[in-house]
Structure 1
Amino acid sequence: MVLSELAARLNCAEYKNWVKAGHCLLLLRSCLQGFVGREVLSFHRGLLAEAPGLSPSATCRGGSRCSPRARQVIKCRNEIMHSSEMKVSSTWLRDFQIKIQNFLNEFRNIPEIVAVYSRIEQLLTSDWAVHIPEEDQRDGYEGETGSYLSASQVNEVKIELLKEELEEMYLQAEEQEMLPEEISNRLEVMKEFLRNNEDLRNGLREDMQKLDSLHPPNPKRDSKEPGRETPERKD
């Protein structure tokens, strides 16, 4: 049942594009975390060296700055995370490929980026066949630039993307950055998707319960109209 559900989803090219783009973003995040952490630590140490009296707990009030290329990648990431259908077109994916490659070119001197650059490029340009052991044939084909992912690898990518989306929704709900109705609508879309995909539902049960704790179902409205009493029944 699980494999048949996965195979059905992977028959949709737009869904596969969505997972490919999400996989690229996860790879990008993993390779940037170490670099960003080192840069922030170095910057903080530089501030303390220039201002010895500055408290270690001091905060900067300057606005955050992102390069135009970084903003483009962030925009793509938001489109991926907020895609209710979890699908993107091939045209969107080609545009995403250009934007992410332009962004990566700014960091070609960073070892972590160099290590993952070829993986991201191959993923975006390959036919990206998916091997399902119990099936008679593989989804897609393996050409010169082709690569295979196992069913479990696809599910791992998908679950990680959905976990990130649910965590974002939880933080937005907790900080009241979104209207309760909007959060509820997005949560209902997610629930509907998971109801139709058992292979993903079990891996996200705790995350869904955590979000539900902030947005419990609305109580049923009383059938009585406000200010009016139900007339007594006469025998």
Structure 2
Amino acid sequence: MVSEELAFRLNDEEYKNWLKAGRCLLLLKDGLLPFTEQRLRAFHGDLLNQRPPLRTPCETSSCKPRGNALASVCRGCSEWQREILKHHRQPSGTIHWTNCFPPNWRTDHWEVAKAYMPRGQAKVNRADEFDASALLNLINYCDCFSSVDPKLVRQVIQCRNELMHSCELRVKDDWMRRYRWTLRHFVQQLSFVPHMLTVGRQIEGMLTVDLSIRVFGVDRLDSAVAMAASDPDLLEPDAESVSRWESELLGEMLRECLCAPNEEDEDAKTQDAEQLKRLQGFLQANKDLGEKFSSELQAIDSLQAKGGEEG
């Protein structure tokens, strides 16, 4: 049964825009995962074949970052670090070594990929746990994805960051039109990737569907029925699916904000604190979400109490 709170939220057009845009990121991630898996596996294999020193196991099995620095690592892990920097499009920028467990670089291509991703990936152990931001940043920064125009990738990343850092979890129609254009061109560039054309149709359908129809128990619009009949990928979602997507998006925002930035990164700490405060207020104002994310609310309370003590 759909909660009244969800029905009320979906009566807000700009909140529905936010939710639909977020769902498109989940669809995009599903399309990018097989592509990045194939490229990474080949990239990792080529490095091992071309650079014999990379085949050397970690000498201590305990090499790890300290803070966001990677120092005092063994010779084998140092070789991997140099190779990762060699294939990084911006090696002088911030690289989140804290994502990585260097002893696994030799055997796990996704562990290497983490060095090209945003912070907060250290506990991700399965490829399907990476979000769209992680995969997009990987494509943007690792030169093994040379067939993809970095400019288009960065445009999608910018839209994603604007969406996920939205103060009120609401976006306007003008923003949605720009977002649709950006996703369409990015997906078209990857038309050579199996399943991406299907993903493109799913995204187009999500951006045009009226999520409130099923929630309020009203019959679907004729256009929605016709659309679903012509392409099953565009079938109108039911209320339970909408609720699940909402939870996935909010969960992603909470994980990103709860992942502590570097102590020296004061701007990131301030932005995360402000975003957490807004999310806290939103969850508390919606009883169903407050119950669903009760543990995260407790974590926010603990962080705020700790911050108060340090202040």
TM-score, structure 2 normalization: 0.62
SS of the residue 1:149 aligns to: coil
Distance 1:185 1:129, change over 3 A: closer
Report if the CA contact (8 A) 1:35-1:112 is conserved: no
* Aligned residue among 218, 242, 247 for 1:137: 218
Tell me the amino acid that sits aligned with residue 206 of structure 1.
S
Provide the secondary structure at the position in 2 that maps to 1:53. helix
Q: Deviations over 1:26-54 (max 9, x none)?
A: 11112212221221121011111122232
> How far 1:103 moved relative to its partner?
0.4
Deviation at 1:212, TM superposition (A): 4.1
1:1-235 aligned at under 5 Å gives the runs 3-55=3-55, 57=77, 58-59=80-81, 60-61=84-85, 62=88, 63=90, 64=141, 67-132=150-215, 135=216, 137=218, 141-143=221-223, 144-145=226-227, 147-171=235-259, 173-176=260-263, 177-179=265-267, 180-216=269-305, 218=308
Q: Is the 8 A contact 1:166 1:211 kept in 2?
A: no
Shift of 1:153: 1.3
Question: CA separation of 1:6/1:149 partners in 2, compared to 1, >3 Å: closer, same or farther?
Answer: same
**Gapped runs of 5+ residues in structure 1?**
222-235
**Relative to structure 1, is the Cα distance of residues 181 and 94 closer, same or farther in structure 2, using a 3 angstrom cutoff?**
closer
Distance 2:237 2:183 in 1: 22
Distance 1:183 1:41, change over 3 A: same
In structure 2, C-alpha distance between the alignment counterparts of 1:106 and 1:31, rounded to whole Å: 13
Distance 2:177 2:237 in 1: 21
Consecutive unaligned residues in structure 2, runs of 5 or more:
57-76, 91-140, 143-148, 229-234
Inter-partner Cα distance in structure 2 for 1:119 and 1:9: 23
User: Relative contact order, CA 8 A, sep 6+: which one is greater?
Assistant: 1
Cα deviation for residue 5 of structure 1 reads: 1.5
Contact 2:20–2:207 (CA under 8 A) maintained in structure 1? yes
Considering fraction of residues, name the structure with more helix. 2
Letter in 1 for 2:254: L
Structure 2: distance between partners of 1:122 and 1:181: 37
1:110 alignment partner, SS class = coil
Structure-2 change in CA distance of 1:184 and 1:51 (3 Å): closer
Contact 1:129–1:141 (CA under 8 A) maintained in structure 2: no
Secondary structure of the 1:87 match is coil
The Cα RMSD (Å) is: 2.7
Number of residue pairs the alignment of both structures matches: 217
Distance 1:155 1:16 in 2: 12
Structure 1: distance between partners of 2:248 and 2:292 = 10
Rg (Cα) greater in structure: 1
TM-score, normalising length: structure 1: 0.81
Equivalent position SS for 2:32 = helix
| Distance in 2 (alpha carbons) for counterparts of 1:71 and 1:182 | 21
Contact 1:22 1:161 in 2 (8 A): yes
Give the drift of 1:119: 0.9
